[in-house]
Structure 1
Amino acid sequence: MAQPPAWHEAYPTPRNQSPKVVVTRQELLQWLQEGQKPGVDFLLVDLRRTDHEGGSIKGSINLPAQSLYPSLPTLLNLCQSAGVRTVIWYCGSSKGRGTRACGWFQDMLDDRQVDGMTSAILLDGISGWARAGEEYTRLMEEYDAEKWSSAK
Structure 2
Amino acid sequence: MASLSNSAAPETPVQPWHAAYPAPKCTAPVISRAEVLKWMKEGRKDFVLVDLRRADFEGGTIRGSLNLPAQSLYPSLPSLYSVLSGSNVKQVIWYCGSCGGRGTRAAAWFADYIESQQDTDLASFALEGGIKGWVASGSDYTALMDGYDASHWASK
TM-score by length of 1: 0.92
Gaps of 5+ in 2: 1-10
SS of residue matched to 2:86: helix
Number of aligned residue pairs: give it: 146
Question: What is the distance in 1 between the residues matched to 2:13 and 2:130?
Answer: 27
Matching residue of 2:16: 6
How much identity, in percent, do the aligned residues show?
53
Partner amino acid, structure 2, of 1:10:
A
Following superposition, the deviation at residue 115 of structure 1 comes to 1.3
Q: Residue 70 of structure 2: which of 65, 68, 91 is its match?
A: 65
Larger radius of gyration: 2
Q: Residue 49 of structure 1: which of 42, 48, 54 is its match?
A: 54
Partner amino acid, structure 2, of 1:145:
A
Question: What is the distance in 2 between the residues matched to 1:50 and 1:96?
Answer: 15
Runs of 4+ in 1 over 3 A off after TM superposition: none
Following superposition, the deviation at residue 109 of structure 1 comes to 1.0
RMSD of the alignment, in Å? Answer: 1.0
Please list the CA deviations of residues 80-103 of structure 1 after superposition, one character each: whole Å capped at 9, or x if unmatched: 111211100000001100011011
Matching residue of 2:116: 111
SS of residue matched to 1:87: strand
Question: What is the distance in 1 between the residues matched to 2:117 and 2:39?
Answer: 28
Q: Residue 34 of structure 1: which of 42, 61, 65 is its match?
A: 42
Gaps of 5+ in 1: none
Following superposition, the deviation at residue 110 of structure 1 comes to 1.1
SS of residue matched to 2:108: helix
